């Protein structure tokens, strides 16, 4: 691009000359992005918990068989459950896989898991129920019936805890989308007002540029870059803050990790970072575009 | 003074402009400027000199008529073509129109940045332009820290650095003392001597008399007289005595 050097110089000059306004804007955007990002982090983390417990589209029940149950018992149970409409999936998890899962969930305890006898890891049957068919009462009744079978030692359900997490997860997702939309709308206007202010402060420069034969694009580009880089910087600040926050929370959640799994709160995945940065870029460019176009027309 | 070329670089034909319905600013203004000429546009305050110049670089539109610059009607240009017209026209204004918080170098380089020239060439041409206007060594000085005369010389450097074929100067000496005014007109005459056409709007009769060039006078909304050389006697301002026009 022929004028890129000039655009970048002008953009940096703009940041330098109007640093107080630009800093205020970047911090305002960062706060908005942190709120949305934190909510997204909560949604992602809860989503992982939900997935770990069977996924949002099914209730999960774990059935431990009695040690003296005949080897064909698991298969017998699977066949009995397979025919039921509310049962979406039945799967036997052998003891070796159970040990492996624990090792993956708590890798720092690998040595301890390895040292344990195979009898500590009985095989179990995982049953996924369709929440569309199996409502709360139906679900409890079915779990009760399975528990009464002779070959069954224990039925583990995630019960109310699971339902709560699922509810919070759904709420967090909706809230993240709603707050995200609101934040996009608000931050576009914050950027637009900042750029408009900067544009009017530099109106003599714009007049001179136009008098000397600058095209509207030539005038516009440094302002678009100013909006773009400001919003990207704010997004990076927000992502940095969220990363630090997640690390800090993880340290404090060590005690509950055995209940919630090794990573009760998770970092945003790379795709979320990309979406976050792309949205920030779009906000920066849209806000600048609105202001500069309006100002150039006037 | 450069000898006037044979080709008209600027043809102003039947141009009229009115801001108020009852009182046209000017009507049916028609004259030509030959390539390489130095021409004054004069007339009392409010006669439309500045408006006419602004029409040439399409900062203003006309109600009727045409302004042919290098064979193209600038009044009929699309808005996307106007920047390209302005790259061929250097403009000098009474208020200098410099960017005060920027350096002298940056103010002049701006006209070349727009053209997309390489930095090395921009540097060389800005240095040459500063040499020419007697401000070598002022590259890093902020425009705001210059005197009025120096600021106008920077404006001249900016107007000519892109080597336009036409320079429009709107009351370039209006804010300057006699010494600085003479220096600015010297510069414009030097530029003209190298072949650049200059159209200078002024109501300073002393200047017109002291530096004789063809003069177009706008009086009472029409081109009242076109004089050559020192003969400004023909320019008749309403209410002004002939004596007032003498140097």
Average pLDDT, chain B: 87
The interface residues of chain A toward chain B in range 6-65, judged by CB-CB distance below 8 A, are 6, 17
Task: Please give the DSSP secondary-structure letter assigned to residue A268.
Answer: P
Residue B241 has pLDDT above 50, yes or no: no
Chain B residues within 8 A of A208 when measuring between CB atoms = 97-99, 107, 110
- Residues of chain A with pLDDT below 50 are none
Close Cβ partners of B91 (under 8 Å, ≥ 6 residues apart): A211, A212, B57, B97, B159, B167, B168, B169, B170
Q: In chain B, what percentage of residues exceed pLDDT 70?
A: 89
pLDDT tens for residues B130-160? Answer: 999 999 999 999 999 999 999 999 999 999 9
H-run or E-run covering B27: strand B23-34
Closest CA to B67 of B53, B47, B49, B84: B53
pLDDT tens for residues B106-124? Answer: 999 999 999 999 999 999 9
Three-state secondary-structure class, residue A206: helix
B190: tokens are 């030097």
pLDDT score, position A126: 83
Q: Of B80, B87, B116, which is closest to A2 when you measure between CB atoms?
A: B116
In chain A, the residue whose alpha carbon lies closest to the alpha carbon of B80 is A215
Residue B229 has pLDDT above 60, yes or no: no
Residue with tokens 């009115």: B18
Identify the residue with better confidence: B201 or A127.
Answer: B201
pLDDT score, position A255: 63
Instruction: Please report, in angstroms and rounded to a whole number, the separation of the first and last CA atoms in chain B.
Output: 19
Collect contacts of B51-54 with beta carbons under 8 A, ≥24 apart: B51/B17, B51/B25, B51/B26, B52/B12, B52/B15, B52/B26, B52/B201, B52/B218, B53/B168, B53/B170, B53/B199, B53/B201, B54/B170
pLDDT score, position A254: 65
Chain B residues within 8 A of A17 when measuring between CB atoms = 101
pLDDT tens for residues A76-85? Answer: 777 777 777 7
Confidence of residue B36 (pLDDT cuts 50, 70, 90): very high
Mind giving me the DSSP string for A136-180?
HHHHHHHHHHHHTSTTEEEEEE-HHHHHHHHHHHHHHHHHHHHHH
Give the mean model confidence (pLDDT) for residues B24-51: 91
Three-state secondary-structure class, residue B71: coil
pTM of the predicted model as reported, rounded to 2 decimal places:
0.74
Residue B26 has pLDDT above 80, yes or no: yes
The string over A50-68, giving b where at least 16 C-beta atoms fall within 10 Å of a residue's C-beta and e elsewhere, is bebbbeeebbbbbbbbeee
Q: In chain B, what percentage of residues exceed pLDDT 90?
A: 70
A232: tokens are 């990207």
How far is it, in rounded angstroms, from Cα B151 to Cα B149?
Answer: 5
Distance from CA of B242 to the nearest CA of A (A): 37
pLDDT tens for residues B210-228? Answer: 888 999 999 888 887 777 6
pLDDT score, position A238: 95
pLDDT tens for residues A132-189? Answer: 665 667 777 777 888 888 888 888 776 666 667 777 778 888 888 888 889 899 999 9
B4: tokens are 């006037």
Closest CA to B211 of B222, B219, B200, B220: B200
Other CB atoms within a 10 A radius of the CB of residue A35 amount to 16
């Amino acid at each position: 691009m022929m004028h890129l050097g000039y655009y970048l110089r002008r953009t940096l000059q703009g940041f330098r000359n109007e640093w107080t306004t630009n800093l205020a804007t970047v911090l305002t955007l960062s706060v908005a992005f942190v709120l949305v990002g934190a909510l997204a982090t909560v949604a992602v983390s809860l989503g992982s918990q939900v997935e770990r417990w069977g996924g949002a589209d099914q209730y999960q029940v774990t059935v431990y068989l009695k040690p003296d149950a005949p080897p064909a018992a698991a298969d017998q149970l699977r066949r009995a459950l397979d025919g039921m409409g509310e049962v979406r999936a039945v799967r036997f998890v052998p003891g070796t896989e159970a040990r492996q899962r624990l090792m993956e969930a708590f890798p720092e305890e690998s040595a301890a898991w390895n040292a344990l006898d195979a009898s500590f890891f009985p095989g179990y049957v995982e049953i996924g129920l369709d929440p569309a068919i199996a409502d709360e009462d139906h679900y409890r009744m079915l779990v009760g019936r399975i528990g009464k079978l002779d070959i069954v030692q224990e039925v583990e359900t995630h019960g109310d805890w699971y339902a709560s997490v699922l509810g919070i997860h759904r709420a967090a997702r909706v809230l993240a989308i709603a707050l995200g939309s609101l934040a996009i709308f608000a931050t576009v206007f914050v950027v637009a007002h900042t750029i408009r202010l900067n544009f009017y402060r530099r109106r003599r420069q714009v007049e001179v540029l136009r008098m000397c034969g600058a095209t509207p694009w030539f005038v516009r580009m440094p302002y678009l870059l100013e909006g773009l880089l400001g919003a990207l910087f704010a997004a990076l600040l927000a992502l940095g803050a969220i990363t630090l926050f997640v690390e800090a929370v993880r340290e404090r959640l060590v005690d509950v990790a055995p209940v919630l799994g090794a990573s009760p709160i998770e970092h945003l995945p790379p795709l979320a970072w990309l979406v976050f940065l792309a949205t920030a870029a779009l906000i920066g460019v849209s806000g600048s575009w609105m202001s500069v176009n309006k100002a150039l027309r006037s | 003074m450069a000898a006037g070329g044979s080709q008209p670089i600027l043809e102003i034909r039947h141009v009229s402009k009115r801001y108020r319905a009852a009182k046209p600013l000017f009507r049916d203004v028609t004259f030509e400027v030959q390539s390489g000429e130095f021409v004054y546009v004069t007339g009392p305050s409010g006669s439309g000199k500045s408006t006419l110049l602004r029409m040439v670089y399409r900062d203003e539109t006309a109600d009727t008529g045409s302004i042919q610059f290098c064979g193209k009607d600038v009044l009929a240009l699309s808005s996307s073509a106007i920047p390209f017209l302005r790259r061929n026209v250097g403009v000098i204004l009474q208020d200098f129109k410099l960017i005060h918080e920027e350096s002298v170098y940056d103010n002049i380089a701006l006209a070349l940045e727009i053209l997309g020239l390489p930095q090395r060439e921009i540097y060389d041409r800005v240095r040459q332009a500063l040499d020419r206007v007697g401000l070598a060594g002022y590259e890093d000085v902020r425009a705001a820290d210059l005197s009025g005369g120096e600021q106008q010389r920077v404006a001249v450097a900016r107007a000519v650095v892109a080597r336009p074929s036409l320079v429009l100067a709107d009351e370039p000496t209006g804010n300057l003392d006699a010494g600085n005014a003479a220096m600015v007109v010297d510069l414009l005459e030097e530029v003209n001597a190298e072949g650049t056409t200059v159209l200078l709007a002024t109501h300073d009769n002393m200047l017109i008399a002291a530096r004789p060039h063809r003069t177009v006078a706008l009086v009472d909304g029409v081109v009242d007289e076109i004089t050559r050389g020192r003969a400004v006697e023909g320019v008749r301002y309403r209410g002004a005595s002939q004596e007032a026009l003498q140097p």
